[in-house]
Amino acid sequence: MNRVTINPDRSIGTIHRNLYGHFSEHLGRCIYGGIFVGEDSPIPNVNGMRTDVVEALKAIRIPVLRWPGGCFADEYHWQDGIGPREKRTRMVNTNWGHVVEDNSFGTHEFMELCRQLGCAPYINANVGSGTVREMAEWVEYLNSPGDSTVVRRRWANGRKEPWGVQYWGVGNESWGCGGNMRPEYYADEYRRFQTYCRDYPGSKLYRIACGANTDDYRWTEVLMDRAGRFMDGLSLHYYTLTGPTWEEKGRALTFSKSEYYELMHRGAYMDELITNHARIMDRFDPQKRVGLIVDEWGAWYLVEEGTNPGFLYQQNTMRDAVLAAMHLNIFNRHCDRVAMANIAQTVNVLQSVILTEGEKIALTPTWHVFDLYKAHQDAKAADCFVETDRIGEGKWQVDRVSASASVKDGAITLTLANLSMDEAADVAVRVPNSGKVSGRILAAEAHAHNDFDASPVASADYTDFAVNGGEISLSLPPCSVAALTIA
Ligand code: AHR
């Protein structure tokens, strides 16, 4: 028997809505085809943005969207993407497939997308191949209410009022594709670049420094020590892979039981990473002013056969849904330090919530998890103590049950995942008072997935529980994710 004990009176803080954020890069068919099809497309769109994709993202209440990369961000020059489209500069996207980037999706298009989605924009600016002036002027172009030549260009391009973009990333993976810098060097560069990213009237910036790759704790230590007081957020990137080497990664659709548990085991490492990076941040910032921004996470497999290796297109199964549920539970449980998380990536790249093919669309099992978890956004985290056993294959062991809880408007939301591939899990949930309980569940065989012809994976009402005073006894099917509302 697994036990979950919820104490709503003990809380580590609020689960910021941005923990449910997304990331969209100029990579493969994420922006082009997946989100932006242009005004003249036969695919229904509003100002070039696919209506079906916008509606699907609004349905899961997308709170924040990071753009334009990723590695692409450090080769992106924002002036190339403004003004009349036919006059925009062309470039080759050397990071992702060497395809032509015609810059038809630029700053104005991104801001229009965020307007339609009703989400906050998070712009990741270029340190690796950009200049301080270029970054400073991008902030000015978007945020300044003044009258300067830069601002007049914005007016000429059809936008009078400043947008007031709050979230700014200063470089991406500066330890790798963003310039191969050492932490000491980047810390100084960060200090210099962020100095000229000005707070214009009405637009106080939230400055995000490039953080560590996985377990590079020294990077966090050096950044916090040398630049901590100049930042609001520090990022962390960690992807979940299976397989012995990068080149021999696992696949999305075909995997053994051992690979299933390998993914779960490696995914659960996110908890250890956050704990350790947060511990270092605590030494320099005990007030927890600086947020840990997990702005790239998710499963990364070999691309689907027959697709461009530079496009990172992969399918998405029920196994990925459980991985996502586990991650979101981890972020909720660390909401005192984690201020934002962005799954990579929104459409058609890596662990997407949406796949498209021409005019067709499929909502992945991961989309359904974001749908089940949306009540956590801006809720107060509730202490949620989990007693469970370990399951797995060989060295790939993991907790059987993952959970997190929050309180909003007098109701508790409890989200649970049964990580077992083939066994149901009985769970006893203790709460101080359980009034009316209702639930939704996403359950299917681990390989189940949605595609353009059929979508067998979808959430359903969940009733397989009994309420007895302060205890709810429930049974979770194998490989499932559930959300309970306890009123
Ligand atoms: O999400 C794909 C790539 O992964 C991003 O461009 C980069 O930041 C990371 O290495």
Model confidence over 211-269: pLDDT tens digits? 999 999 999 999 999 999 999 999 999 999 999 999 999 999 999 999 999 999 999 99
Q: Please, what sign has the CA dihedral across residues 259, 96, 63, 456? A: negative
The question of whether 101 is a catalytic residue gets the answer no
pLDDT at 434: 72
Residue 237: strand, helix, or coil: strand
Average pLDDT over residues 172-196: 98
Does pLDDT of 158 surpass 80? yes
Q: Please, what sign has the CA dihedral across residues 378, 294, 22, 116? A: positive
**Separation between Cα atoms, residue 179 and residue 184, nearest integer Å:** 13
Residue 51: strand, helix, or coil: helix
Unique residue bearing structure tokens 């797995």: 392
Nearest 5 degrees, angle CA 133-CA 200-CA 106? 55
Average pLDDT over residues 139-154: 98
pLDDT bin (cut points 50, 70, 90) of residue 54 is: very high
For strand 120-125 and strand 167-170, is the pairing parallel, antiparallel, or unpaired?
parallel
Query: What are the φ/ψ torsions at residue 187 (nearest 5 degrees)?
Result: -55, -40
Burial class (CB in 10 A: 0-12, 13-18, 19+), 380: middle
Q: Are 23 and 344 in contact (CB under 8 A)?
A: yes
Does pLDDT of 469 surpass 90? no
**Separation between Cα atoms, residue 33 and residue 348, nearest integer Å:** 9
For strand 49-50 and strand 45-46, is the pairing parallel, antiparallel, or unpaired?
antiparallel
Give the Cβ contact number of residue 463 at 10 Å: 11
Atom of ligand 1 nearest to the CA of 350: 1
pTM over 0.95: yes
Atom of ligand 1 nearest to the CA of 239: 4
Give the tens place of pLDDT for each residue, 350-400. 999 999 999 999 999 999 999 999 999 999 999 999 999 999 999 999 999
**Separation between Cα atoms, residue 79 and residue 141, nearest integer Å:** 10
pLDDT at 16: 98
Atom of ligand 1 nearest to the CA of 178: 8
Q: Which two tokens stand for residue 171?
A: 């470089």
- How far does residue 125's CA lie from ligand 1's centre (Å)? 14
The answer, yes or no, to whether any atom of ligand 1 lies below 6 A from the CB of 173, is yes
Question: What percent of the chain lies above the pLDDT cut of 90?
Answer: 98
Q: Are 346 and 354 in contact (CB under 8 A)?
A: yes
**Separation between Cα atoms, residue 219 and residue 120, nearest integer Å:** 28
Give the tens place of pLDDT for each residue, 59-73. 999 999 999 999 999
Does pLDDT of 85 surpass 90? yes
Q: What is the DSSP letter of 14?
A: B
Give the tens place of pLDDT for each residue, 269-309. 999 999 999 999 999 999 999 999 999 999 999 999 999 99
pLDDT at 226: 98
Average pLDDT over residues 176-200: 98
**Catalytic residue, candidates 296, 304, 305, 393:** 296
Average pLDDT, the chain: 97
The residue nearest atom 7 of ligand 1, judged by CA position, is 70
Q: Are 168 and 139 in contact (CB under 8 A)?
A: yes
Unique residue bearing structure tokens 């590079």: 216
pLDDT at 168: 98
pLDDT bin (cut points 50, 70, 90) of residue 433 is: confident
Unique residue bearing structure tokens 């990536």: 345
pLDDT at 1: 86
**Separation between Cα atoms, residue 433 and residue 436, nearest integer Å:** 10
Does pLDDT of 435 surpass 90? no
Helices (H), 118-256: 132-143, 149-156, 183-195, 217-227
- How far does residue 238's CA lie from ligand 1's centre (Å)? 10
Does pLDDT of 349 surpass 80? yes
For strand 64-67 and strand 120-125, is the pairing parallel, antiparallel, or unpaired?
parallel
The question of whether 173 is a catalytic residue gets the answer yes
**Separation between Cα atoms, residue 221 and residue 228, nearest integer Å:** 9
- How far does residue 71's CA lie from ligand 1's centre (Å)? 6
3-state helix, strand, coil split of the chain in percent (to 5) is 30, 30, 40
For strand 49-50 and strand 206-213, is the pairing parallel, antiparallel, or unpaired?
unpaired
- Nearest of 152, 145, 121, 141 to residue 200 by alpha carbon: 145
